[in-house]
């Protein structure tokens, strides 16, 4: 026991026990890392989401969002099993969920704001906010009208499916609130 001779004489028993248990503790930690990696590998599906399987996570953000929306809409259409006479209402509804002009991030240029006083900047921000709110209200009205048109074209069974799908979407996906 070379270690025992190098330990302080005031606490040789406890320190010696700690040093003797160190290899066991290290073995447990190292072993648990291996088990964790094996468990993760065993339970991780090849693609966690269908979008990963299509390679959408390597796309730029705008393209990825467009691809995800197309995938989501195709899933809704498949689940609804729409008839040919429902296609016009579906197309109108899909157009209503598309991007709204002017809803992206505003293009703030420092030069445009630098010459303004703080009250002028606040007034400009207020007018931008009001314009944004107006575009949102128009987009919601257009989407509501298209949704009601599609909903009226659906059968009772399709309406129940649509209700379940939109509730899940409106409540934040699979999370519960």
Q: Which residue has the tokens 């010459």?
A: 115
Contact (Cβ atoms closer than 8 angstroms) between residue 57 and residue 64: yes
State how many domains the chain has: 1
14 lies in some domain: no
139 lies in some domain: yes
Q: At what angle do helices 87-96 and 118-153 cross, to 10 degrees?
A: 170
Task: Spell out where the chain has E strands.
Answer: none
What tens digit of pLDDT does each residue of 115-168 get?
899 999 999 989 989 988 998 899 899 999 999 999 999 999 999 999 988 887
What tens digit of pLDDT does each residue of 102-130 get?
666 777 778 888 889 999 999 998 998 99
32 lies in some domain: no
88 lies in some domain: yes
Report the alpha-carbon distance of residue 136 to residue 138 in Å, rounded.
5
Q: Other CB atoms closer than 10 Å to residue 114's CB: what's the count?
A: 8
Nearest alpha-carbon partner for 96 in 142, 133, 135, 162: 142
129 lies in some domain: yes
75 lies in some domain: no
Look at residue 41 and give its three-state secondary structure. helix
What tens digit of pLDDT does each residue of 6-57 get?
555 555 555 555 556 656 665 555 655 554 444 444 444 444 455 455 554 5
131 lies in some domain: yes
155 lies in some domain: yes
Residue 151's domain spans which residues?
81-98+114-170
Contact (Cβ atoms closer than 8 angstroms) between residue 69 and residue 129: no
Nearest alpha-carbon partner for 113 in 101, 105, 103, 122: 122
């Amino acid at each position: 026991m070379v270690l025992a001779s190098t330990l302080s004489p005031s606490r040789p028993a406890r320190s010696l026990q700690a040093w003797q248990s160190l290899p066991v503790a290290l073995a447990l930690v190292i072993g648990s890392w291996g088990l964790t990696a094996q468990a993760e590998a065993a339970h991780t599906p090849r693609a966690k989401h269908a979008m990963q399987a299509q390679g959408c996570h390597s796309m730029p953000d705008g393209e990825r969002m467009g691809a995800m929306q197309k995938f989501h809409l195709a899933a809704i259409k498949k689940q609804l099993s729409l008839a040919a006479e429902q296609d016009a209402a579906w197309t109108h509804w899909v157009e209503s969920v598309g991007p709204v002009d002017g809803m992206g991030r505003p293009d703030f240029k420092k030069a445009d704001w630098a010459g303004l006083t703080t009250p002028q900047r606040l007034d400009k921000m207020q007018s931008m906010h009001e314009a944004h709110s107006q575009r949102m209200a128009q987009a919601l009205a257009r989407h509501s009208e298209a949704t009601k048109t599609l909903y009226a074209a659906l059968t009772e069974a399709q309406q129940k499916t649509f209700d379940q799908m939109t509730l899940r979407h409106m409540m934040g996906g699979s999370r519960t609130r």
